[in-house]
A and B are shown apart, each in its own frame.
Chain A
Amino acid sequence: MLAIRDLRAAYDGIEALRGVSLEVQAGAMVALVGANGAGKSTLLNCLSGIVPAAAGSVVFEGEDITRVSAHKIARRGLLHVPEGRQILVDLSVEENLRLGALAARQRARRETMDTVLALFPILKDKLRQQAGALSGGQQQMLAIGRALMGEPRMLLLDEPSLGLAPLVTDQVFAALRTLNAGGLTILLVEQNARRAFLSTSWAYLLDQGTIAKDGPSAALAQDAEVIARYLGHLAAGEG
């Protein structure tokens, strides 16, 4: 579904991606794990066309999208839920969702809104409220719901658990697993490596702009080096 070959990109003059290659199969839920500053967000921004690629290629569903502009990538069905949610705080919840339907165009279906509200029932009661008035967890659900309105073929998620209480994070991840079970391909960037390994089938480890390791998530979770570097004390604290 998504194939990245030797992708290079600079962010703020720093070479953040130094030849990244990875692949996501259709229907898979894949984790991308790495320390702060490893280039995870830059990689997603590069895939969705926000950060231009310096070299390499991104192929989505057989078509090269390396130089395609961001809004056209979204309209092709590769939707990016950015870090920090980036909901439109001055617009109502409903307006945020309707805006999301823009990416769908000919794929748009009338019942999508109901599907999204069924997945995140909390949003249903808040349709008329300003999106900025929502709590962090609700904003994350809105950000995902808004992307789903675009009838995505594949979802890029950047740190969906950032700043959320564990219980809310559980809800968000449960929703993601439901979506994946329904056939949606997901690439998940997550700082909480343990949680990422638990909910995905395959994982890539990004280190200083290159893929350091990849393998089945369950195997990586047992890997001594990975445990030492990314799970460490986190592993002891959560479970």
Chain B
Amino acid sequence: MSEEKVLFLQGNEACVLGALRAGMRFFAGYPITPSSEIAEISSIELPKVGGRFIQMEDEIASMAAVIGASMTGVKAMTATSGPGFSLKQENIGFACMAEVPVVVVSIMRMGPSTGLPTSPAQGDLMQARWGTHGDHPAICLIPSSVKEMYEFTIRAFNLSEKYRTPVILMTDEVIAHMREGVKLQENYEIIERKRPAPGAFNYQPFLDIDGDGVPPMAPYGEGYKFHVTGLSHDENGFATNSPEKNEKLLKRLKYKVDKDAEEIATYSEYLMEDAEYVLVALGSVSRTAQNVARQLRANGVKAGLFTPKTLWPFPEAALKRHLSAAKLVIVPELNLGQLVLEVERIVKGSCEVKLIAKASGELFKTDELYNQVAGVIGE
């Protein structure tokens, strides 16, 4: 018998528990498969800790409501899947522009449109980067286990609070719905947003006083009386047509995340030392790929697996570092080729990159992926 306490949790359940651990006190959502358990469990747990849950009239409204809640100083989250993620994009852009910390969970299913509601897919990777219009910062975490669903949700809140920006937690249906044993740490670091000094009522809500690109954020209702708009704005939060101020704002929004990109970006590696054949995979596919890499090693092929844990920013420098012995990079993904675009951009011709695409609404089986990878290596 194990000494440590192990919880047996579903992925979506672990997400809610992680959110509560991070201090979530508000959830707004709309029913959508395969993320509905997140709303259901939030509706059960939040009122017990004095938090609040609301099922809004649509996906757009639930995105709006979490931003409104966050403006009062409360940590807020919503959850959805592809069709709802599409609908949320405009207000995700608002949260980027108005610099409002919120966590948006999106459990990927087959698309486009209604697609296959209960089948795993990874077709929304670029939507998590460029789903909303205009230049904007993007942080997207991709768990591939139930434990990571818990821990990455905490990290999603931490990053959103630290950088005053929406953070996307995205994975596929397999990870969201499977149940797995989870050993939690005793302590997790919890980050709270920077606030202006109490009573500093001449506060400028968009002034980068610390030089880190992240202005302090006051809650509504404490006398700061500040104005927030989705229009391009000055340091005081009022619309401006000044070309200099507009560009300064957009550059700061990009800078505040870019400057720490390598610190934000995380990944895991498996059998990567001296790997000549590098698999790059995320979410549920990384689990199949790990099995395949192990089998290949057992058969004398120097294979390894690199798993991005943040999709955006992508762990670019880390991937480059791991390609010193690489002859071939192989990207299996549950879409017709999205992750491979980012990998090709990073590899930039230093070695060959091959895509193994699957878009049938099923997870890669181990034998299937092994045979395909072996086939690609043999070419």
**A, B in one complex:** no
